[in-house]
Structure 1
């Protein structure tokens, strides 16, 4: 096989590339959600997408890079959190952020991919590193920038720890009575704590 033929192998016509890339990402999210990071393979993703595994490598590279691309799309709704913080006075930021985060978790269409992300991150160091990098660079630093207070990054991380921890117990581990509690009750109790982390002394 010539070098040129080798380079062309597995690559789709340009008109098909966007659809193929989306199909691979959708398959990857489904595979990671169902199997977790450890048990998901590039070959399995390719099979689910109906493509050759060379195409997965061509578009995304390694399994870690596929995971990062897949979760970035799934995580996209959460990236609007800084705008939710900015939309109102600072003394109401705890409730706005808490309501925003639980709005994402309560919506089945956004909760399912988030569950896949969290489960993979909890069970695998590589997936955890990808998730941590995404959260730190695209969410927490942007939240901290909205605060304009001393120790802003630490404040943002503590608020995130409160919200993520509660979400883990409610949606992943499903501890009762938290798992069945009314979301409004959770928001009322949690918002003042988040407010304290973000703007307290």
Structure 2
């Protein structure tokens, strides 16, 4: 019973996490660039795990009943997505994408960490998906089975970000051409601006 509930949690978490989002696009690009992949994957997975456990513990109810917080995050995320989309346009125009390996400077590491945190915690939907929805889906299971569901959902998050971050290297032969980076950045810009518009036009 424990493993079947954990499997249900895994599939539920995967269904929500694997959906295309700004965070996934960011992780994919970092994986292609081979820059701080472990750091980015670790931050994204750990953040999801904390939010999922919080939702199962009942904190998600507070988020659901405090819409003001989600509205603040909504506007903050819209500004951030618009800015990141513009940066992607600049990269696409200049053709500055590359496959140069290396961890980069300490300043670059801090910048990537801040951007990763912004993609994760400024997105109001991450709270609705992990804390409210997954927390609600875990409620029918009594006692330790509720935490089995949470364990499965957390495992799905970890597996997904590991696969996305480190599996991106399989696409590197394609991205040895500068044109491929231009197309990727153009798609990212369009995607970020589309998400920005949806955040502003669609009620949470």
**Alignment TM-score > 0.5, same fold:** no
Where relative contact order (Cα < 8 A, 6+ residues apart) is larger, the structure is 2
TM-score (norm 2): 0.31
TM-score (norm 1): 0.31
Larger Rg: 1
